Each structure stands twice: as C-alpha cells, then as structure tokens.
Amino acid sequence: MDPIETLFSAARAAQGRAHAPYSRFRVGAAIRDEAGAVHAGCNVENAAYPVGTCAEAGAIAAMIAQGGRRIAAILVLGDGAALVTPCGACRQRIREFAGPDTPIHVAGPEGLRRTFTLDELLPASFGPDNLA
C-alpha cells in the first residue's frame, strides 16, 4: 500500500473513534515513525474545556508509548471544506519529534488535500536543538 494511503487509512479509523460530543468535529491523525511503524490518534473532548486532547497529540503519545522517537511523516484528517491543519500547540508538539522538512499531510474525507513541511507551518521554530 502507498505510504500516504497507509497513513490515511489509520487516520480514518482513528477519526471514527473520536470522542467529539460537543463540537461534533472529529479528527484523526496518523504518524509514521523513524522505523516505519504507524501510530494513530483521535481528538478526545471533555466537558471541562480546554482539557480535551487533539488527534495529533494522541498519535504522538501512541508513538512514544510504542517506542518511536522521530516523526517521519504525519497525516491529519478532518471533515469540511477547509483544510484541517494542526493547531498551534500541536505544531509545537510535532516540532519536538520532527525536523523542518518533515511532511505534514492534510486530508479530507476524499483523500489527500495538501502537503506542507513543518517549516512551512511553523517557521523559525523553537525546538530541542535550541536547548542543546
């Protein structure tokens, strides 16, 4: 299977399990790590805003829990006509485990809509290398 299609399938499955009773806006995300393993996450809302979790944060947590340490690529899947890119906090979360050239694929129900690099979404970012 095509690498982007693999991420899309994992993100779609996760999106279907999202807990979004308040916004009704379900998001799925899937990461391919440095070893090629795929890790998925979905948004999990909470009645006490803002303690919910974004899909990207869930996918990153799954990656770390399963031993992955670097994001080779990530795909974010959301519904609607507009691009569903990672929020600012998730862009910074991704930056912790990815380099400036890491592809961030943005998809809708029909498939891939656009690909960005992390540097395009979070230019001149602060990351682990700033603290080295």
Compute the Cα dihedral for 65, 70, 73, 76 and give only its sign: positive
Is 48 annotated to bind a ligand? Reply is yes
Is 49 annotated to bind a ligand? Reply is yes
Is 120 annotated to bind a ligand? Reply is no
Residue 56 is a catalytic residue: yes
Is 22 annotated to bind a ligand? Reply is no
Catalytic residue among 5, 34, 56, 96: 56
Dihedrals φ, ψ of 48, to 5°? -95, 85
> Are 114 and 131 spatial neighbours (Cβ–Cβ below 8 Å)?
no
Is 13 annotated to bind a ligand? Reply is no
Binding-site positions read: 43-49, 54, 87, 90
Active site residues: 56
Binding-site positions for Zn(2+) read: 54, 87, 90
